[in-house]
A and B are shown apart, each in its own frame.
Chain A
Amino acid sequence: GAGVSQSPSNKVTEKGKDVELRCDPISGHTALYWYRQSLGQGLEFLIYFQGNSAPDKSGLPSDRFSAERTGGSVSTLTIQRTQQEDSAVYLCASSKNPVGGLGNTIYFGEGSWLTVV
């Protein structure tokens, strides 16, 4: 696609339910990233994929959070047993080249706004 696509754009869920957030990166981009932005906070790194593997998942806040990427393209971020503190915008991004290269511009999607009630 022309840009990074995320779905759903908005999700309201009850505490304790599981949610899945989807990211479709720019075609041909090998690297994919998930970030979280809470109200009034900066962007918090969650996980980085290079192809289908995740060399850096150091930012996942707890074992309730998991992510996978299949076919080197679409990624799904899953949050199990959601808590109110999980309410945030979840932003996905992609880049043509892996982390660690010069000139590696990163492009973001519009985000998935998650509200846990």
Chain B
Amino acid sequence: KQEVTQIPAALSVPEGENLVLNCSFTDSAIYNLQWFRQDPGKGLTSLLLIQSSQREQTSGRLNASLDKSSGRSTLYIAASQPGDSATYLCAASGNTPLVFGKGTRLSVIA
């Protein structure tokens, strides 16, 4: 059974810092690793999807990497801004629907 873990559970950084969020999964037989953002009281917004055959994906200031063999993914956020404050969730899918980590709650302080 797939299990997804995210570390740290919460992170507070000053504006402008680069930061890394970590995600690990127990079953490497995945097809996709997807990163989401959730603002308080809102649904999930898809940020990036990395296919199992890929090593990384980039969108603007976001870069997600995948090391399938070691069961790890990272989300790198460059030059963080207060508007980046949210909970970031990673989720892995294989032959079953997405399995989610519990998220990292990010606060970017102006």
Give the distance in Å from the alpha carbon of A97 to the alpha carbon of B46 in the complex.
16
Q: Size of chain B's interface in residues, with CB distance under 8 A?
A: 26
From known contacts A42-B100, A43-B100, A102-B31, infer whether A107 and B46 are also in contact, taking CB-CB under 8 Å: yes
Does B34 lie at the interface of the complex (its beta carbon under 8 Å from any beta carbon of A)? yes
B89 interface hit (Cβ, 8 Å): yes
Do B96 and A56 touch (CB < 8 A)? yes
Neighbour of B49 across the interface among A45, A91, A105, A108, CB < 8 A: A105
> For the complex, would chain A's binding face be called helix, strand, loop or mixed by DSSP majority?
loop
Contacts of B12 in A (CB 8 A): none
Contact with A along B67-110 (1 / 0, CB 8 A): 00000000000000000000001010111111111110000000
Cβ of A101 and Cβ of B31 under 8 Å apart? yes
Give the complex CA separation of A65 and B95 in angstroms. Answer: 24
Would you call B31 and A91 a contact (CB within 8 A)?
A: no
Residues of B within 8 A of A42 (CB): 89, 100-103
* Cross-chain contact B98 with A45 (CB below 8 angstroms): yes
Alpha-carbon gap, A45 to B102, bound state (A) = 13
Interface string of A27-70 (1 = CB under 8 A from B): 00000010100000111010010000000100000000000000
Across the interface, do A99 and B97 meet the contact criterion of CB distance under 8 Å? Answer: yes
Binding site for B on A (CB under 8 A): 4, 33, 35, 41-43, 45, 48, 56, 91, 93, 99-111
Known: A35-B100, A91-B43, A108-B46. 8 other contacts (CB 8 A): A4-B43, A33-B97, A43-B91, A99-B95, A106-B93, A108-B44, A111-B42, A111-B43
Q: Chain B residues in contact with chain A, CB under 8 A?
A: 31-32, 34, 36, 42-46, 49, 51-53, 89, 91, 93-103
- 19 A-B pairs with CB atoms under 8 Å apart are A4-B43, A33-B97, A35-B100, A42-B89, A42-B100, A56-B96, A93-B98, A99-B96, A99-B97, A102-B32, A103-B51, A104-B32, A104-B93, A105-B32, A106-B91, A106-B93, A108-B43, A108-B45, A111-B43
